[in-house]
Structure 1
Amino acid sequence: MKRFSALGAMLALAGAAPLAGAAPQPPSCARPEWPQEARRYELEGVTTLNFRMGPDGRAIEPTVARSSRWAMLDQAAIASLSTCVFPAETVQRVQGKLLPLQFVWKLQGPDRVPPALVEGSCAASERFDRYVPFDKGVSGDDGVLVRLLVRGDGTPYGVKAEAGGADPALAQAAVEYVQSCRFAYPKAGASPGSPVSGRVLLKQ
């Protein structure tokens, strides 16, 4: 079973030669705090932020250059970056430049066999084509990213949509659609309450 480790949330330079070369001393940052809900749903991803450095060595104007797919992880990355204080020599060399920084949200521990979607179990829908577990796409015109937990009897609960660019009403409809689906645990090593994430695809 994957487990959260404080070492799993890492601060890494995002291919940023300007910052890496200019900072012989690392910044002083609080350990990134993995949101509790993200841990429960075992959400992972990489958030790339862009920011500028203020004269006091703190990050200013942070923006999400590339999302982890999960808003709560992106917001946690911004919150963590706000605690960083960069050394004076770095401030002098890169002040005013747009700098990239990555937060890698990775759970540690062995992978487990997740519950599988029972084929044909989701309710017929005029709007949705199917639910695809483990689809790593984002919400958009072709589908809605959804996360959920699965009971021992295969019924989903705690279903939540990552609306992103999708219409809120469509995101809610996707949640209701996934609630009609059923899952099956492997015969050995079942772990009721396991998380699953994927996308509800729209009919084209």
Structure 2
Amino acid sequence: MFKNKIFITSTLVLTLLNFHFGVSEVWAQTELKDIPSISVVPNIKPTLLLKASYDRCKKPEYPRLALRYEMVGKTELDLAVNSEGRVTMAEVTRSSGWRALDEAVLIAMMGCQIFDDPKTERLYVKTAYAWSLESNVPSKPAEVLAGTCNKSDFVSFAKDNEPGRGIVVGVWLNKDGGIEKTNLEWSLDPKLNQESVKLVSSCKFKPSFDAVGNLASVISLRLLPLRSK
């Protein structure tokens, strides 16, 4: 089904954060190439600078299922770090689109010591892990054909700038863009889950393709509950 030769690349980055906990505020500076610094600013001066290090963390392994179907994306996480600098809590705030990828990052992060002597009881930081695959035969990913999906009174497709993990539905497509199956990657309320799968299933898709022709592929879609009027 997926015949391209695959090379795995992954990048761990930190993104902007402003959390409040106790008497301190934490900012994580955005850096895509270098390991960023964490600035901890207590109410009592002076400012304390800490440098995060992810070299001690076990690198997430690409799940076999994800490799087979060439699943990619970026997993965004909220981390809680204790006084020893170890991650004690990790929560997915924005899915890569695939639960298998997200859970691999969660496993790698838990218990990892990313700070040396943070000198504070707890820190909250936001991090992201990017999953990507390089193929020797470039291809275009599948996409939803605009205007083909039904309307729902309960959920809608999330925009890129809308926060929240939401409900994530994975879709397996054939070479013609037809839906072979759907899978609920991340869920909320049973009724909203059902409505999300129903909405996604009503859509038509442009199939993935390369220089040779159309390809069977996968695509994931994020949905959010509609606000009550």
- TM-score category by the smaller chain? 0.5 to 0.7
Q: Is 1:105 matched with 2:130?
A: yes
Q: TM-score, normalised by structure 2?
A: 0.58
Tell me which protein shows more strand as a share of its residues. 2
Which of 180, 183, 186 is the matching residue for 1:157? 180
TM-score (norm 1): 0.64
* 1:172 matched to 2:213: no
Unaligned runs of 5+ in 2: 16-27, 30-36, 41-47
Residue 98 of structure 1 aligns to which amino acid in structure 2? L
Corresponding residue of 2:38: 17
Looking at secondary structure, tell me which structure has more helix per residue: 1
Provide the secondary structure at the position in 2 that maps to 1:172.
helix
Q: What does 1:119-198 align with in structure 2 at a 5 Å threshold?
A: 127=152, 136=160, 145-165=168-188, 167-185=189-207, 188-198=211-221
Does the 8 Å CA contact 2:97/2:168 hold for their aligned counterparts?
Answer: no
Q: Deviations over 1:101-129 (max 9, x none)?
A: 5232231437632335456655x66x369
**Structure 1 unaligned runs (5+)?**
none
Shift of 1:156: 0.9
Distance (Å, rounded) in 1 between the aligned partners of 2:156 and 2:213: 22
Whether the aligned pair in 1 keeps the contact of 2:10 and 2:131 (CA below 8 Å) is: yes
Shift in CA distance, 115/45, structure 1 to aligned 2, threshold 3 Å: closer
My pick for the range that moved more, 41-50 or 14-23, is 14-23
For 1:17, the aligned partner's letter is I
User: Highest relative contact order (Cα 8 Å, sep 6+), 1 or 2?
Assistant: 1
Alpha-carbon spacing, 1:38–1:103, altered in 2? closer, same or farther (3 Å):
farther
> In angstroms, what is the RMSD of aligned CA positions?
4.3
